[in-house]
Structure 1
């Protein structure tokens, strides 16, 4: 990382330690987007999704997820949107919105995870001057703080289109009440229903295709593991705290073992992420590394739950939050390939071959 990236990362860690993690259980139970957390990160220049190397982004995500999953999950949608707008060939879109986006004054969410589903849920129809959108985007995170959403939709020819849409409710754009999730209810994630919503050509972000999305998912098999690494780090810290209070040497031993395994898994994942993706065995090795990271995060959180004893039954206990977040990240950006690989690893099915 560059010196500037190291400085930014140190400031991010300071905010995580001083603000995000101490208030994570309160935020988790509040049911409301943590605006103060987002404002603190934006003030530190960390709402700029156009900035940073892969190494910086991985470290930032791990730090955020190790502190407060809710804050991370709202912010990451916006960081992704910053990158989408920054890389768009639509200069008008960049000039109108990017400067405010990177300062955190104009939050933009995403609504295109559904494009991985076998049947189209949101369709775009070309009309004079733009497109009309019809259908449902089942996951739009952080709705109360959003100024806009980038929706992904299927075109009549089967390709994808990504469009910028202001976040306002009317007869053409309706959102549900916040969805009851297993974790991170405070992200205020909603389902958006679009009916004959006109989007002008000026708000086009980019085009895509199912093949490009699948290729991106494969290329990022080992890039999207930092959330689980954050959960593992947080669970390990909690184990060390419990080891001070309880006279069981196994707690600190478990923390040491998990930390060692985390370092090994991290090195393996990022070596593959930065390696030659055309190598014959790369995809199989990357999938194995991804599922290792998933299993490790769940196992670390489960270990913290066991060590916390009956206290972990409380919704206010950090061990329970870690466990729920580990479940959430198990499904984060899951493809059919990752689903099969994860199930095979967890169930110890040696002959399972993802298709």
Structure 2
């Protein structure tokens, strides 16, 4: 969607067109094959936002967003596994702790792929995972309700909460080990292929040199909540993919044209705010645009289902896959302010 595509955008489009999209329905039903993630690793896309001096591309945020749109619109399961990787990379790039020198380069180059296990810290004052300082490191106890990419990625970014309400973020290997046990992969309404499990932590020990961040919970929330108010590129990716299905149906092209114009405008405004130099400003407008993006995604995927008629109920229909993946995006990264904004927008009004 850029005028002159960045090389990584060109690679993402090629990967989507030649590999991800042709197999998306099969992946959705049968699981994510290793070759998909191997292709993502080899493409350089995992280092899109990583510093160049560590083997990454150091690309602007606009490029990273466009890459995510393309992947999400082609194969939601592949997108969801690889999108976990970028938060650990960004966190390492900002860190001055020793773990940066050990992990940033292999993550930036795709030698290693990372997952994330920290969404549960948003449940505070409930503490699903407790972090306790021990000699030479930290002990983690509790339950990580959701961890995506089990058996597909190499390391995980794990977080726990201390007795003093400090958050401790540290890396550990994404495999069963003393103190860490995974559930069987969950059967979900969407993205089952992304291999999401829960993790039971019973005295998992992580050395101090694997810690990437220690911060007060309130300070983390000051960054996390505004970031969560921004519209997700994946929402636009799924919406545009649904509109392309409508383009292929002569009777639905006028609907696609009307929705595309509105979606383009919301995307433009949402990304302008995402690039605003003060993330904590314009929160209400960010939430409004995020909600409008969801509305348009739902309209686009619903229109694709309607246009497909009875064929849309088949599990090999891209329309129903996009509709289910859109349903998942409604709850991904759901903070309390986002939930409140979405529910308020959905509440009927009568005059």
**Same structural fold, with TM-score higher than 0.5 when normalized by the shorter chain:** yes
- Report the 3-state secondary structure (helix = DSSP H, G, I; strand = E; otherwise coil) of the residue aligned with 2:186: coil
Offset at residue 254 of structure 1 (A): 0.5
Offset at residue 131 of structure 1 (A): 0.9
Alpha-carbon distance between aligned partners in 2 of 1:233 and 1:220, rounded to the nearest angstrom: 23
Q: How many residues align?
A: 342
In the alignment, which residue of structure 1 is the partner of 2:28? 28
The answer to whether the Cα contact below 8 Å between 1:222 and 1:269 also exists between their aligned partners in 2 is: no
User: Kindly tell me: are residues 278 and 38 of structure 1, through their superposed partners in 2, closer, same or farther at Cα, counting changes over 3 Å?
Assistant: closer
TM-score (norm 2): 0.92
Alpha-carbon distance between aligned partners in 1 of 2:204 and 2:277, rounded to the nearest angstrom: 43
In the alignment, which residue of structure 2 is the partner of 1:194? 201
In the alignment, which residue of structure 2 is the partner of 1:340? 340
Alpha-carbon distance between aligned partners in 2 of 1:278 and 1:121, rounded to the nearest angstrom: 28
Alpha-carbon distance between aligned partners in 2 of 1:155 and 1:211, rounded to the nearest angstrom: 13
- Report the 3-state secondary structure (helix = DSSP H, G, I; strand = E; otherwise coil) of the residue aligned with 1:267: helix
Offset at residue 2 of structure 1 (A): 11
In the alignment, which residue of structure 2 is the partner of 1:256? 257
Alpha-carbon distance between aligned partners in 2 of 1:52 and 1:157, rounded to the nearest angstrom: 38
In the alignment, which residue of structure 2 is the partner of 1:267? 268
Offset at residue 216 of structure 1 (A): 1.9
Note the residue ranges of structure 2 that are not aligned, 5 or more in a row. Answer: 51-57
In the alignment, which residue of structure 2 is the partner of 1:143? 150
Q: Given the alignment of the two structures, is residue 95 of structure 1 paired with residue 96 of structure 2, yes or no? A: no
In the alignment, which residue of structure 1 is the partner of 2:63? 56
Alpha-carbon distance between aligned partners in 1 of 2:198 and 2:84, rounded to the nearest angstrom: 15
Q: Given the alignment of the two structures, is residue 179 of structure 1 paired with residue 182 of structure 2, yes or no? A: no
Query: Which of 144, 167, 172 does residue 165 from structure 1 map onto?
Result: 172
Note the residue ranges of structure 1 that are not aligned, 5 or more in a row. Answer: 351-355
Alpha-carbon distance between aligned partners in 1 of 2:4 and 2:269, rounded to the nearest angstrom: 26
What do you get for the CA RMSD once the two structures are aligned?
2.2
In the alignment, which residue of structure 1 is the partner of 2:288? 288
1:116-164 per-residue CA deviation (whole Å, 9 max, x = no partner) reads 1131100100111111100011111111122221101101101101011
User: Kindly tell me: are residues 323 and 341 of structure 1, through their superposed partners in 2, closer, same or farther at Cα, counting changes over 3 Å?
Assistant: same
The answer to whether the Cα contact below 8 Å between 2:228 and 2:333 also exists between their aligned partners in 1 is: no
- Report the 3-state secondary structure (helix = DSSP H, G, I; strand = E; otherwise coil) of the residue aligned with 2:6: helix
The answer to whether the Cα contact below 8 Å between 2:46 and 2:86 also exists between their aligned partners in 1 is: yes
Offset at residue 325 of structure 1 (A): 0.6
- Report the 3-state secondary structure (helix = DSSP H, G, I; strand = E; otherwise coil) of the residue aligned with 2:198: strand
The answer to whether the Cα contact below 8 Å between 2:113 and 2:154 also exists between their aligned partners in 1 is: yes
Alpha-carbon distance between aligned partners in 2 of 1:305 and 1:164, rounded to the nearest angstrom: 42
Q: Given the alignment of the two structures, is residue 328 of structure 1 paired with residue 346 of structure 2, yes or no? A: no
1:73-101 per-residue CA deviation (whole Å, 9 max, x = no partner) reads 1001112222222322223x223222222
Query: Which of 97, 104, 108 does residue 110 from structure 2 map onto?
Result: 104
The answer to whether the Cα contact below 8 Å between 2:230 and 2:286 also exists between their aligned partners in 1 is: no
- Report the 3-state secondary structure (helix = DSSP H, G, I; strand = E; otherwise coil) of the residue aligned with 1:145: coil
The answer to whether the Cα contact below 8 Å between 1:222 and 1:270 also exists between their aligned partners in 2 is: no
User: Kindly tell me: are residues 349 and 277 of structure 1, through their superposed partners in 2, closer, same or farther at Cα, counting changes over 3 Å?
Assistant: farther
In the alignment, which residue of structure 2 is the partner of 1:47? 46
The answer to whether the Cα contact below 8 Å between 2:151 and 2:175 also exists between their aligned partners in 1 is: no
In the alignment, which residue of structure 2 is the partner of 1:353? none
Offset at residue 110 of structure 1 (A): 0.7
Offset at residue 109 of structure 1 (A): 0.9
Alpha-carbon distance between aligned partners in 2 of 1:279 and 1:173, rounded to the nearest angstrom: 36
